[in-house]
Amino acid sequence: MRKQYSYLLIFAFLFLASCKGEKEKYLTQTWKLDNMEYLTPIPPEMEPAVQEIIAQQKASYSLAYNPDGTYEASMGTDKLKGTWKLNWNGSKITVTGADGVAKTYNITELSLERYSFKMRVPAAEKGGSEQELQFFMVPKK
């Protein structure tokens, strides 16, 4: 019985490791922003400004993940570069920018045609509140 349990654990580990490899293949392409949602309620008076920001980002934001573990994010002429790594089961991605700061985001969907993740934006100074956003990406063609 113990031997069968050991084989089952080895099989489960190999299966999960292969899932991560498959997700890395899905991720390594260039994505563009399809939509962005604020998951934390925003004041009604801020809604027009937020929608304008979302429209601007949809028009110019892209994110390229390279097979060598590097990434480049672009918005207009601004570019950010760094490295990326998925966790053991591909449910989280950790990105490290050129400044050396690592940030981890929860992946909510990842396939060849869709990639979405959630991120938290720390509270702004002077009484602001933390915001949670969800990004919905599609392949850039």
Cα(15)–Cα(60) distance, integer angstroms: 37
Domain count for the chain: 1
Instruction: State pLDDT tens for residues 54-64.
Output: 999 999 999 99
DSSP code of residue 23: H
How far separated are the first and last CA of the chain, in Å rounded? 52
With a CB cutoff of 8 Å and minimum separation 6, the contacts of 36 are 54, 57, 58, 133, 134, 135, 136
Computed over every residue of the chain, the mean pLDDT equals 85
- The arithmetic mean of pLDDT across residues 48-75, rounded, is 94
DSSP string, 44-98: GGGHHHHHHHHHHHHHHEEEEE-TTSEEEEEETTEEEEEEEEE-TTSSEEEEEET
Cα within 13 Å of Cα(125), Cβ side: 0
Highest mean pLDDT, choosing among 16-20, 46-50, 67-71:
67-71
Q: pTM of the full predicted structure? A: 0.80
Phi, psi dihedrals of residue 100, rounded to the nearest 5°: 85, 0
Structural domain for 34, as ranges: 2-139
Residue 10's CATH number: 2.40.128.280
Q: What percent of the chain has pLDDT over 90?
A: 67
- Cβ atoms within 10 Å of 98's Cβ, excluding its own: 9
